[in-house]
């Protein structure tokens, strides 16, 4: 299962790009809006509920601007956390640094493109699922075939 955590309503469109790919892989997902800055107690309630379930799980944190979400979540969970911050021209894209620089002991992975974040989460979950491994392998073969086909079209 993938839990998408959005910092605000503004992040919903970015999250939909992720859930579209997760659906292709048949990966179940739940989406919540909770801010590490504005509603930290509520955010902790959400992640504690999922941590108690003792199931294979990956969190994808989507927050623009000053992204504390991924680091905050990672510091409170044992499951993998992926940051996937929406790109913004504001501040020349430098807000990405808040997703990249983390204090010691905090280790969310940052993936910039939503489709790749969904793929990374699916691969992590595939470690414990033969069925999902087959789906990821099939996806990779389809991508390779497309590239080889493009080369053949060049002549």
Q: What is the pLDDT of residues 29-68, one digit of tens each?
A: 999 999 999 999 999 999 999 999 989 999 999 998 878 9
Find the distance separating the first CA and the last CA of the chain, reported in whole Å.
Answer: 43
Assigned CATH class of 2-154: alpha beta
Whether the full predicted model's pTM is greater than 0.75, yes or no, is yes
Find all residues with CB under 8 Å of 16, minimum gap 6, and list them.
Answer: none
Taking only the tens place, the pLDDT of each residue in 114-137 is 999 999 999 999 999 999 999 999
11-20, 31-40, 100-109, 110-119: least confidently modelled range: 100-109
- List beta partners, residue 6: 33, 62
pLDDT at 6 (0 to 100): 98
To the nearest 10°, the Cα dihedral for 15, 138, 110, 94? -70
Kindly state the helix (H) or strand (E) to which residue 140 belongs, with its residue range.
Answer: helix 130-154
């Amino acid at each position: 299962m993938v839990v998408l955590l959005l910092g605000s309503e503004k992040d919903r469109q970015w999250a939909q790009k992720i859930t579209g790919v997760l659906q292709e892989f048949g990966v179940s997902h739940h989406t919540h809006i909770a801010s590490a800055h504005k509603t930290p107690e509520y955010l902790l309630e959400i992640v504690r509920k999922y941590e108690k379930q003792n199931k294979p799980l990956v969190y994808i944190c989507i927050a623009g601007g000053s992204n504390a979400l991924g680091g905050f979540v990672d510091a409170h969970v044992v499951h993998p956390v992926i940051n996937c911050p929406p790109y913004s021209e504001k501040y020349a894209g430098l807000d990405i640094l808040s997703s990249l620089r983390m204090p010691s002991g905090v280790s969310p992975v940052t993936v910039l493109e939503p489709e790749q974040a969904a793929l990374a989460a699916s691969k992590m979950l595939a470690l414990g699922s033969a069925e999902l491994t087959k789906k990821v392998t099939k996806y990779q073969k389809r991508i390779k075939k497309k590239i080889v086909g493009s080369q053949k079209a060049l002549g």
